[in-house]
Amino acid sequence: MKHRVDPINSLQYPYRRLRRLVILLLCLIGSFPALATAHPDTEPLTHSPKPAPQRIVLAFYNTENFFDTLPSTARSHDLYTPTGPYRWNSERYHQKVRHIAQVLDSLKADLVGLAEIENETVLRDLVARMNTSYNYLIRPGNDPRGINVALLYRGSQFFPLRTFHISGPGLSRPILGVQGCLQDDTLTLLIAHLPSLMNRSSWRQAAAQTLRHQLQQLTARYPRSKIILMGDLNMTPSSALARKTLGIQPWPETLPDPDTATNSETTTDPPSSPSSSASDALFTPFIALERHGEGSYIYRDRRYVYDYFLFNRAWFNPQGWRFQGDYGLFTPDFLFYPTGPRRGYPRRTFDRGRYIGGFSDHFPVWVILEK
Q: For residue 110, what is the domain's CATH number?
A: 3.60.10.10
Question: How many angstroms separate the first and last alpha carbons of the chain?
Answer: 57
Q: Burial, 107: exposed, middle or buried (Cβ in 10 Å; 0-12, 13-18, 19+)?
A: middle
Rg (CA), the chain: 27
Distance, in Å, from the CA atom of 194 to the CA atom of 114, rounded to the nearest integer, reads 13
Tell me whether residue 34 is in a domain. no
Tell me whether residue 39 is in a domain. no
- What pLDDT score was predicted for residue 2? 40
Among 193, 222, 197, residue whose Cα is nearest residue 314: 222
Tell me whether residue 172 is in a domain. yes
Domain of 169 in residue numbering reads as 55-370
Using 70 as the pLDDT threshold, list the residues of the chain that sit under it.
1-50, 74-77, 253-277
- What pLDDT score was predicted for residue 49? 63
CB under 8 Å to 130, separation ≥6 — which residues?
101, 104, 105
Tell me whether residue 126 is in a domain. yes
- What pLDDT score was predicted for residue 52? 76
- Cα-Cα-Cα-Cα dihedral of 259, 260, 264, 265, to 10°? -100
- HSE-CB at 352 with a 13 A cutoff on CA atoms is 3
- What pLDDT score was predicted for residue 102? 98
Tell me whether residue 232 is in a domain. yes
CB under 8 Å to 123, separation ≥6 — which residues?
114, 117, 136, 138, 150, 152
- What pLDDT score was predicted for residue 259? 44
Tell me whether residue 21 is in a domain. no
CB 336 within 8 A of CB 345: yes
- What pLDDT score was predicted for residue 144? 86
Strand partners, 322: 370
Domain total of the chain: 1
Distance, in Å, from the CA atom of 257 to the CA atom of 292, rounded to the nearest integer, reads 9
Task: Determine the residue type at 350.
Answer: F
Tell me whether residue 256 is in a domain. yes
Tell me whether residue 30 is in a domain. no
